[in-house]
Structure 1
Amino acid sequence: MTRIIGRMYNKLIAKPKTITEQILFEHLAGQNDNSVYISVRPDRLCMQDATAQMSLLQFMITDLPKTAIPTSLHCDHLIEFTKGSPKDLVAALSKNKEVYEFLLAAAKRYGMDFWEPGSGIIHQTILENYAIPGNLIIGTDSHTPNVGGLCVLGIGVGGAEAVDAMCGIPLEINKPKVLGVNLKGKLDGWNSPKDVILKVLSILGTKGGTGYILEYFGEGVNSLPATGRATITNMGAETGATSSIFPLDKKSMDYFSYTNNTSVLNLKKDLIEKYSHKKEILDDPRSFFDEVIEIDFDKLDIFISGPDSPDKLISLDAIKDASREHGFKTEISCSLIGSCTNSSYEDISRAADIAAQALKTGIKAKVPFYLTPGSRNIKNLIEKEGYLKTLTDFGAKILETACGPCVGMWNRTDLKQGKNTIAASYNRNFRKRIDGNIETDVFLMSPELATLFAITGNLSFNPEKDFLTTPNGKKLKIQPPKNYEISDIKLTKVNKGLAINLPDKKVEISIPNNSDRLKKLKPFPKLNPKDFINMRLLIKIKGKCTTDHISKAGEWLQYRGNLDKISGNLLLGAQNAFTEKIGMTFNLLRGEEQPISTVAREYKNKKINWIIVAEENYGEGSSREHAAMEPRYLGCKVIIAKSFARIHLTNLKKQGILALTFKNKDDYEKLYREDVISLEMIEDIKPGKTVKLKVKHSDGNVDKLEFDHTYNEQQLQWLTEGSSLNVISKKQKTRD
Structure 2
Amino acid sequence: MSRDEMPDTQQTLAVGGSTYHYYSLPQAAAALGNIDRLPKTLKILLENQLRFADDESVAREDLQALVDWQQGGRSSREIGYRPARVLMQDFTGVPGVVDLASMRAAVQKLGEDPSRINPLSPVDLVIDHSVMVDKFGNPTAFKDNVAIEMERNRERYEFLRWGQQAFDNFRVVPPGTGICHQVNLEYLGRTVWSKEEDGKTFAYPDTLVGTDSHTTMINGLGVLGWGVGGIEAEAAMLGQPVSMLIPEVVGFKLTGKLKEGITATDLVLTVTQMLRSRGVVGKFVEFYGDGLADLPLADRATIANMAPEYGATCGFFPVDDETLAYLRLTGRDDAQIALVEAYSKAQGLWREPGDEPIFSDTLHLDLGDVEASLAGPKRPQDRVALKDMKTTFEKLMAGEENGKAPPSEERGRLNSEGGQTAVGVHESYEHHDSQDVEMDGERFMLNPGAVVIAAITSCTNTSNPSVMMAAGLLARNALAKGLKTKPWVKTSLAPGSKVVTEYLEAGGVNEDLDALGFNLVGYGCTTCIGNSGPLPPPIEKAIEDGDLTVASVLSGNRNFEGRIHPLVKTNWLASPPLVVAYALAGNVRLDLSRDPLGEDRDGNPVYLHDIWPSQADIASAVEKVKTEMFRKEYAEVFEGDETWKALQVPQSQVYEWSPSSTYIQHPPFFEGMGRDPDPIEDVRDAHILALLGDSVTTDHISPAGSIKPDSPAGRYLQERGIKPVDFNSYGSRRGNHEVMMRGTFANVRIRNEMLDGVVGGETRHVPSGEQMAIYDAAMKYQEKGTPLVVIAGKEYGTGSSRDWAAKGTRLLGVRAVLAESYERIHRSNLIGMGVVPLQFPEGEDRKSLGLTGDETISIEGLADLTPGGKVTVTIKSDKGEKRIEALCRIDTANELEYYRHGGILHYVLRRMIGAA
Shorter chain as normaliser: what TM range? over 0.9
The alpha-carbon deviation at position 8 of structure 1 amounts to: 8.6
1:457-496 to structure 2, matched below 5 A, reads 457-459=586-588, 468=597, 469-476=599-606, 477-481=610-614, 482-483=618-619, 484-485=621-622, 489-490=626-627, 491-492=629-630, 493-495=632-634, 496=636
- Residue number in structure 2 paired with 1:664: 842
In 2, the alpha carbon distance for the partners of 1:471 and 1:429 equals: 35
Cα separation, partners in 2 of 1:426 and 1:641, compared to 1, 3 Å: same
Cα separation, partners in 2 of 1:616 and 1:704, compared to 1, 3 Å: closer
In 1, the alpha carbon distance for the partners of 2:782 and 2:915 equals: 35
In 2, the alpha carbon distance for the partners of 1:732 and 1:560 equals: 26
1:521 to 637, 642, 667: 667
Unaligned runs of 5+ in 2: 1-24, 53-57, 63-74, 105-113, 136-140, 192-204, 398-428, 430-447, 706-728
Determine whether 1:690 maps to 2:870: yes
Q: TM-score, normalised by structure 2?
A: 0.75
2:824 to 646, 651, 674: 646
In 2, the alpha carbon distance for the partners of 1:642 and 1:391 equals: 47
- Residue number in structure 2 paired with 1:338: 457
C-alpha contact 1:16 1:278 (8 A) present in aligned 2: no
Larger Rg: 2
In 2, the alpha carbon distance for the partners of 1:153 and 1:244 equals: 9
Task: Please identify, of 132-141 and 711-720, the stretch whose mean Cα deviation from structure 2 is larger.
Answer: 711-720
Counterpart of 2:764 in 1: which secondary structure? strand
In 1, the alpha carbon distance for the partners of 2:476 and 2:757 equals: 48
The alpha-carbon deviation at position 570 of structure 1 amounts to: 1.3
- Residue number in structure 2 paired with 1:575: 751
1:401-440 to structure 2, matched below 5 A, reads 401-414=523-536, 415-416=539-540, 417=544, 418=547, 419-437=549-567, 439-440=568-569
Code of the aligned partner of 2:85: R
C-alpha contact 2:682 2:862 (8 A) present in aligned 1: no
In 2, the alpha carbon distance for the partners of 1:18 and 1:291 equals: 12
- Residue number in structure 2 paired with 1:362: 482
In 1, the alpha carbon distance for the partners of 2:515 and 2:561 equals: 32
Counterpart of 1:267 in 2: which secondary structure? helix
Determine whether 1:566 maps to 2:740: yes
C-alpha contact 1:689 1:708 (8 A) present in aligned 2: yes
In 2, the alpha carbon distance for the partners of 1:622 and 1:280 equals: 36
- Residue number in structure 1 paired with 2:230: 159
1:239-254 to structure 2, matched below 5 A, reads 239-254=310-325
- Residue number in structure 2 paired with 1:106: 163
The alpha-carbon deviation at position 688 of structure 1 amounts to: 3.1
1:513-552 to structure 2, matched below 5 A, reads 513-523=659-669, 529-530=680-681, 532-552=683-703
In 2, the alpha carbon distance for the partners of 1:590 and 1:540 equals: 18
Cα separation, partners in 2 of 1:456 and 1:152, compared to 1, 3 Å: same
C-alpha contact 1:656 1:719 (8 A) present in aligned 2: yes
Cα shift readout 1:398-432 (whole Å, capped 9, x = no counterpart): 21101112111232132434421111111011111
Cα shift readout 1:237-275 (whole Å, capped 9, x = no counterpart): 112211111122333223212211014323364256343
Code of the aligned partner of 1:248: V
Code of the aligned partner of 2:739: K
The alpha-carbon deviation at position 356 of structure 1 amounts to: 1.3
- Residue number in structure 2 paired with 1:97: 154
Determine whether 1:51 maps to 2:92: yes
- Residue number in structure 2 paired with 1:729: 909
- Residue number in structure 1 paired with 2:187: 129
Cα shift readout 1:427-462 (whole Å, capped 9, x = no counterpart): 01111101122x421011111111222222233556
Code of the aligned partner of 1:318: D
The alpha-carbon deviation at position 296 of structure 1 amounts to: 1.4
Determine whether 1:265 maps to 2:337: yes
Counterpart of 2:226 in 1: which secondary structure? strand
In 2, the alpha carbon distance for the partners of 1:586 and 1:479 equals: 54
Determine whether 1:455 maps to 2:584: yes
- Residue number in structure 2 paired with 1:118: 176
Code of the aligned partner of 2:527: P
Cα shift readout 1:635-657 (whole Å, capped 9, x = no counterpart): 10010111100111110111111
- Residue number in structure 2 paired with 1:230: 301
C-alpha contact 1:158 1:647 (8 A) present in aligned 2: yes
Unaligned runs of 5+ in 1: none
C-alpha contact 1:49 1:76 (8 A) present in aligned 2: yes
Cα separation, partners in 2 of 1:251 and 1:599, compared to 1, 3 Å: same
Code of the aligned partner of 2:661: S
The alpha-carbon deviation at position 474 of structure 1 amounts to: 3.8
Task: Please identify, of 394-403 and 118-127, the stretch whose mean Cα deviation from structure 2 is larger.
Answer: 394-403
C-alpha contact 1:233 1:245 (8 A) present in aligned 2: yes
Counterpart of 1:628 in 2: which secondary structure? helix
Cα separation, partners in 2 of 1:519 and 1:665, compared to 1, 3 Å: farther
Determine whether 1:720 maps to 2:900: yes
C-alpha contact 2:178 2:524 (8 A) present in aligned 1: yes
C-alpha contact 2:694 2:795 (8 A) present in aligned 1: no
C-alpha contact 1:18 1:277 (8 A) present in aligned 2: no
Cα separation, partners in 2 of 1:8 and 1:585, compared to 1, 3 Å: farther
- Residue number in structure 1 paired with 2:82: 41
Determine whether 1:373 maps to 2:495: yes
Cα separation, partners in 2 of 1:194 and 1:634, compared to 1, 3 Å: same
Task: Please identify, of 346-355 and 323-332, the stretch whose mean Cα deviation from structure 2 is larger.
Answer: 323-332
- Residue number in structure 2 paired with 1:498: 638
In 2, the alpha carbon distance for the partners of 1:310 and 1:463 equals: 20
Determine whether 1:509 maps to 2:660: no
2:350 to 261, 265, 276: 276
Task: Please identify, of 461-470 and 98-107, the stretch whose mean Cα deviation from structure 2 is larger.
Answer: 461-470
Code of the aligned partner of 1:281: D
Cα separation, partners in 2 of 1:377 and 1:339, compared to 1, 3 Å: same
The alpha-carbon deviation at position 529 of structure 1 amounts to: 4.8
C-alpha contact 1:542 1:580 (8 A) present in aligned 2: no
Determine whether 1:67 maps to 2:108: no
C-alpha contact 1:349 1:382 (8 A) present in aligned 2: yes
Task: Please identify, of 259-268 and 355-364, the stretch whose mean Cα deviation from structure 2 is larger.
Answer: 259-268
Cα separation, partners in 2 of 1:596 and 1:120, compared to 1, 3 Å: same
Cα separation, partners in 2 of 1:713 and 1:265, compared to 1, 3 Å: closer
The alpha-carbon deviation at position 170 of structure 1 amounts to: 1.8
In 2, the alpha carbon distance for the partners of 1:368 and 1:94 equals: 23
In 1, the alpha carbon distance for the partners of 2:825 and 2:96 equals: 15
Cα shift readout 1:179-223 (whole Å, capped 9, x = no counterpart): 111112101322222222211222232892212111112232233
In 1, the alpha carbon distance for the partners of 2:184 and 2:97 equals: 20
- Residue number in structure 2 paired with 1:19: 40
Kindly tell me the number of residue pairs found equivalent between the two proteins.
724
The alpha-carbon deviation at position 387 of structure 1 amounts to: 2.5
- Residue number in structure 2 paired with 1:324: 394
The alpha-carbon deviation at position 507 of structure 1 amounts to: 5.2
Code of the aligned partner of 1:92: E
Code of the aligned partner of 1:478: I
Counterpart of 1:494 in 2: which secondary structure? helix
Determine whether 1:80 maps to 2:260: no
Counterpart of 1:623 in 2: which secondary structure? coil
In 1, the alpha carbon distance for the partners of 2:777 and 2:742 equals: 10
- Residue number in structure 2 paired with 1:293: 363
Code of the aligned partner of 2:479: L
Code of the aligned partner of 2:899: L
CA RMSD, aligned part only? Answer: 2.6
- Residue number in structure 2 paired with 1:195: 266
C-alpha contact 2:290 2:354 (8 A) present in aligned 1: no
The alpha-carbon deviation at position 511 of structure 1 amounts to: 2.5
In 1, the alpha carbon distance for the partners of 2:884 and 2:839 equals: 15
In 1, the alpha carbon distance for the partners of 2:690 and 2:187 equals: 45
The alpha-carbon deviation at position 326 of structure 1 amounts to: 1.5
The alpha-carbon deviation at position 224 of structure 1 amounts to: 2.4
